[in-house]
Amino acid sequence: MTHDAFSKCHPSVNFVFFILAICFGAVFQHPAYIAAGIVSSGTYYVLLNGKKSIKSFLRLLLLFCFISFINPVFNTRGDTVLFKLFSRPYTLEALIYGASIASVFVITMLWFGCWNKVMTGEKITCLFGGVAPALSILLVTVFRMVPEMIRTAKRIVSARLSIGKGGAEKLSERARSGASALGALASLSLEGSVTTGDSMRARGYGTGKRTSFSVYGFRRRDGALMILVAALAAAVIAFAFRGATRAVFLPERYFAPLSGANAAGLAAYCILLLTPTVMHIREVISWNISKSAI
């Protein structure tokens, strides 16, 4: 994260890119576009998180398998019947459609994971603090709530184990211990919310016009990157309206061919999504070259 070039760009560039990447990843279901989304989001997630990303990938893989294989159980549409399950057809088309839905979910989660690393609270405040201060504080609170609650829960469990609680083997005792830890977590969260509100009120937040200071300057490189992202996104949208991303799963399979102009649309999409990864790798290479020259 220290040498991530994309995270050093202006917050507006980060914000626009992630909004586009998440929206495109949630809409496009063409296998080629899904593959591009998984590769690009997964690669950038690994670059930002390192070895910590292995556990996340394992959880997403299990979720992917579950969604993929459970979909044909409820959705029996499709022409290619693989076998019968509970006297209901288990079709190949429904399985592929389930894998597509699962892939879209995985892509979205990976991009949101990258968002949490790059779009810090300071960047969100920089973007919306002057225009919509209430919205900025709401966004900062929401995006930091889940990671903060996870860290607090780990501290509560560790503290309970240190005094001999929470290590029971019986299921009923473990359930009671978990309920106690959950109650402590809820109490701490509510207390933290009250403390934050009192602190903001004491500092006069929202009582009048306020000034703001930002360490993020919009440089020439940010402008060039914003133009590149906008141009690539416009190209992707134009090709999507031409049918380059069309994908039909049920009852028959049809995917838009990747030939001619459609290949150019896929290339623009890949370049757009790989922009942060390329910038990160280039920054790391430059850094290593600089260190070796010392």
Q: What is the pLDDT of residues 253-280, one digit of tens each?
A: 788 888 878 888 889 999 999 999 988 8
- What pLDDT shows up at residue 245? 85
At residue 159, does pLDDT exceed 70? yes
Query: Are 6 and 45 contacting, i.e. CB atoms less than 8 angstroms apart?
Result: no
Whether 248 shows a pLDDT value over 60: the answer reads: yes
SS3 call for 165? coil
Q: Cα–chain-centroid distance for residue 180?
A: 31
pLDDT reported for residue 69 = 87
Say how many Å lie between the first and final Cα of the chain, rounded: 22
* Boundaries of every domain in the chain: 6-146+216-292
Q: Is-contact 268 239, C-beta < 8 A?
A: yes
Q: Which residue type occupies 87? A: S
pTM, whole model, 2 decimals? 0.74
User: According to the model, what pLDDT value does residue 214 have?
Assistant: 63
